[in-house]
């Protein structure tokens, strides 16, 4: 499997399968809930090149992976033997109330965050198409695409019923059925009839029922799911094994559904409206200040994984008001970090840093800022601060303009389409555009001018040990691997020559002796050297990396250049190579082995660049 090695590494550093209570993933990170957090080795995991960052927050052990997080999540599940039906050990639920809340919210919403964002984007694009005159709301094309974009939101109680049921430890199909009851056509018709008559027209066992339209609602089904899961556990505890499989679900739906319509639903709806109106009251007092605060602090919340705490509030605003003012403010916060990363990309002369910045910009435009924050702006500090400052200024402009979104989604460039009001383009949309552009431009300019040290940081020098005659020094730091263990039969068989391999610990290749560059592949993944003593060496970074077309590689020499031991030859992006699914094992081959009496490895299991690696017998 492509990510099997990374999955094994992650499992070993979280304390093994037996220490995992639950595992979900969001857009970029694995979210573990562990039985014992002290068994996890965060520092050891941070050293893995396939891991961007490790964060312990909200009662979760969060492993930031990047855009390919789903593949890694699947690999971890496969490696640990976890399935949807696998019972997990009960964890320690002690901890802060806030931490438990974040864990519950992320566990309920993260499984469908991708389709949630996609639905919101499609809604925004449809609004754009209508404003531009490309579609009409009466056309069949519009209706079909609208149904595709609106289905998730309309049937929110079903989706949340399933994920909430799993999170609360019950049968998710029972809670999904309860969500279905809330959106059943009979209940929708009863609600509409009540709206038309203005009076309560139905009862349950003589008790008057106030019907509410629960389509698109969030809090009622979550509370109902909790009640259902509690009832299910009690039923499984007291009922005989021969009948509990169908009587426990029977009690759950027979009790929870009417209880939801009578008590849980009205109370939760009242709570939803109180939250929405409470936020709106605060926002109305000083919208520019709310925008500045959210724009400045949003990325800080993302770093610690605390941003999930406000996601239900955004969705609740959309359910109550049909629009939300919080999401537009977050777009400048995201673009502030993208702009800072762009400033680094334009300013830096460091090849590896430019490569990291380029890939992070692409991800950031689509709302994924972790690669930019963890890999580029936060390590340099000032760019991150500039991004937050620009996000605050842009957020203040958006807040002052009273910009809204009309569907949920990730804060990314597509959100501009989601800001289009139903009546057409107005000043609120332009405020959102101006605030976003200001954040992007300001952070880029500030970072370009003052975000990087004026004097480039010199590469760490390589301590070169004086080599003996016909001795080859290590061209990189890393773990030594016997050539026959390389996962490529051509190298492992010795057909290309004798030698050894190194699994690199960083992204630098230096000259192993004094000589000249004999060849350099166009894709820069391999280089041939000729020593002053006539030894021909091939250094091939990774296996099958020729398929990457040179993207992760930067050459600092060209054919014919004279080099001395320790000179920098190549740089490469280890993370990009691993993310692309290629093995990093780097063969160091003596191409003209037949001209010598023998080749022997003199290094131990690990080696530093510039230390003895191979001895060539005359």
> What is the token pair recorded at 288?
């520019």
Set 26, 229, 252, 444: catalytic member:
26
Say if residues 291 and 398 touch (Cβ distance below 8 Å): yes
Say if residues 578 and 504 touch (Cβ distance below 8 Å): no
Farthest CA pair distance, the chain: 102
SS3 label, residue 503: strand
| Listed residue (614, 567, 593) closest to 472, CA to CA | 614
The CA angle 528-530-531, to the nearest 5 degrees, is 135
For 581, list phi and psi in degrees, rounded to 5.
Answer: 90, 20
SS3 label, residue 122: helix
| Listed residue (160, 165, 65) closest to 112, CA to CA | 160
Say if residues 587 and 483 touch (Cβ distance below 8 Å): yes
Say if residues 462 and 512 touch (Cβ distance below 8 Å): no
Distance CA 256, CA 229 (A): 10
> What is the token pair recorded at 512?
């192993």
Place of tokens 């960052």: 53
> What is the token pair recorded at 617?
């017998």
Say if residues 405 and 418 touch (Cβ distance below 8 Å): yes
> What is the token pair recorded at 612?
């003895």
Say if residues 525 and 545 touch (Cβ distance below 8 Å): yes
26 is catalytic: yes
Q: Per DSSP, which regions of 541-597 are E strands?
A: 553-555, 562-563, 568-572, 586-590
Alpha carbon of residue 138 to chain centroid: 38
As separate numbers, helices (DSSP H) first and strands (DSSP E) second, the chain gives 23, 20
Tell me which long-range contacts 456-460 makes (C-beta under 8 A, separation of at least 24): 456/349, 456/350, 457/350, 459/508, 459/568
Give the helix/strand (H/E) hosting 62: strand 60-64
Residue 27 CB-half CA count within 13 A: 21
Which residues, other chains included, contact 369 with Cβ-Cβ below 8 Å and sequence gap of 6+? 299, 302, 334, 337, 338, 363
Q: Which residues pair with 598 in a beta bridge?
A: 617
Distance CA 277, CA 96 (A): 27
Give the helix/strand (H/E) hosting 153: helix 140-154
Cα-Cα end-to-end distance for the chain: 43
Q: Which residues pair with 590 in a beta bridge?
A: 498, 537
- Spell 135-171 as b/e; 16+ CB within 10 A means b: beeeeeebeebbeebbebbebbbbbbbbbbbbbbebb
Distance CA 260, CA 8 (A): 44
Distance CA 503, CA 487 (A): 12
Positions annotated as catalytic residues are: 26
């Amino acid at each position: 499997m492509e990510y099997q090695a990374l999955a094994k590494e992650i499992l070993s550093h979280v304390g093994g399968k037996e220490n995992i209570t639950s595992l979900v993933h969001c857009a970029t990170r694995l979210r573990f809930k562990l039985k014992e957090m002290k068994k996890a080795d965060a520092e050891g995991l941070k050293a893995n090149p396939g891991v961007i960052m490790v964060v312990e927050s909200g009662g979760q052990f969060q492993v930031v992976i990047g855009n390919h997080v789903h593949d890694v999540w699947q690999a971890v599940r496969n490696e640990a033997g976890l399935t949807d039906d696998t019972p997990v050990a009960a964890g320690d639920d002690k901890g802060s109330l806030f931490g438990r809340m974040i864990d519950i919210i992320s566990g309920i919403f993260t499984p469908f965050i991708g389709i949630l964002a996609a639905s919101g984007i499609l809604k925004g694009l449809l609004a754009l198409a209508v404003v531009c005159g490309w579609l009409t709301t009466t056309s069949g094309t519009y209706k079909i695409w609208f149904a595709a974009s609106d289905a998730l939101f309309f049937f929110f109680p079903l989706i949340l019923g399933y994920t909430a049921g799993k999170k609360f430890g019950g049968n998710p199909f029972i809670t999904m059925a309860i969500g279905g009851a809330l959106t059943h056509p009979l209940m929708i018709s009863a609600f509409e009839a009540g709206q038309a008559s203005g009076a309560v027209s139905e009862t349950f066992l003589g008790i008057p029922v106030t019907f509410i339209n629960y389509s698109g609602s969030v809090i009622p089904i979550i509370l109902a799911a909790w009640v259902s899961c509690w009832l299910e556990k009690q039923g499984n505890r007291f009922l005989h094994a021969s009948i509990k499989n169908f009587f426990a679900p029977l009690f759950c739906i027979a009790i929870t559904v009417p209880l939801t319509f009578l008590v849980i639903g009205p109370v939760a709806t009242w709570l939803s409206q109180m939250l929405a109106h409470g936020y709106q009251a605060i926002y109305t007092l000083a919208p520019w200040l709310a925008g500045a605060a959210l724009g400045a602090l949003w990325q800080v919340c993302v770093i610690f994984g605390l941003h999930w705490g406000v996601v239900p509030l955004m969705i609740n605003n959309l359910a109550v008001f049909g629009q939300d003012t919080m999401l537009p403010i977050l777009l400048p916060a995201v673009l502030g970090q993208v702009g800072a990363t762009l400033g680094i990309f334009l300013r830096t002369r460091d090849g590896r840093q430019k490569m990291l910045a380029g890939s992070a910009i692409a991800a950031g435009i689509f709302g994924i800022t972790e690669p930019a924050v963890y890999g580029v702006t936060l390590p340099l500090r000032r760019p991150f601060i500039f991004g937050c400052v620009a996000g605050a200024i842009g957020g203040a402009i958006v807040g002052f303009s009273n910009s809204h979104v009309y569907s949920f989604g990730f804060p990314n460039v597509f959100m501009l389409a989601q800001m289009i009001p139903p009546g057409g383009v107005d000043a609120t949309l332009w405020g959102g555009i101006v605030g976003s552009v200001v954040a992007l431009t300001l952070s880029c300019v500030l970072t370009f001018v003052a975000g990087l040290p004026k004097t480039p940081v010199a590469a760490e020098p390589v301590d070169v040990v004086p080599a003996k005659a016909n001795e080859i020094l290590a061209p990189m730091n890393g773990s030594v691997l016997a050539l026959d263990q390389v996962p490529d039969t051509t190298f492992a068989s010795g057909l290309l020559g004798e030698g050894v391999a190194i699994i690199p610990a960083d992204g630098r290749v230096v000259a192993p002796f004094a000589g000249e560059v004999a060849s350099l592949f166009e894709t820069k993944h391999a280089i041939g050297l000729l020593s002053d003593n006539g030894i021909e060496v091939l250094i091939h970074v990774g296996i099958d990396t020729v398929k990457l077309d040179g993207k992760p590689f930067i050459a600092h020499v060209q054919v014919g250049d004279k080099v001395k031991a320790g000179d920098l030859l190549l740089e490469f992006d280890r993370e990009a190579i691993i993310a692309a699914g290629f093995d990093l094992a780097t063969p160091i081959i003596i191409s003209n082995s037949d001209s010598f009496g023998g080749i022997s490895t003199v290094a131990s299991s690990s080696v530093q660049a510039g230390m003895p690696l191979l001895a060539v017998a005359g």
